[in-house]
Structure 1
Amino acid sequence: MTWFKNARLRNGVPNFCAVALALNDLGYKAIGIRLDSGDLAYLSCVIRKLFCSIEKEFGLPGFGKMSITASNDLNGETIDALNKQGHQIDAYGIEGEAKRSCSNCL
Structure 2
Amino acid sequence: MRLTLGALTPMQRVKPLEIIGVRSRAPCIVAHILAASACWGAAACIERSTARTEDPYTIVPWTTLIIAVFSFPPAALVWTWPSTTEALMLFVTGLLSAIGTLAWTNASSMARPRW
Q: Which has the higher strand share?
A: 1
> Over alpha carbons, which structure has the higher Rg?
2
Q: Same fold per TM (> 0.5)? A: no
As a proportion of its length, which structure holds more helix?
Answer: 2
By relative contact order (CA 8 Å, sep 6+), the higher-ranking structure is 2
Question: Which category describes the TM-score, using the shorter chain as reference length?
Answer: 0.3 to 0.5
Q: Give the TM-score normalised by structure 1.
A: 0.33
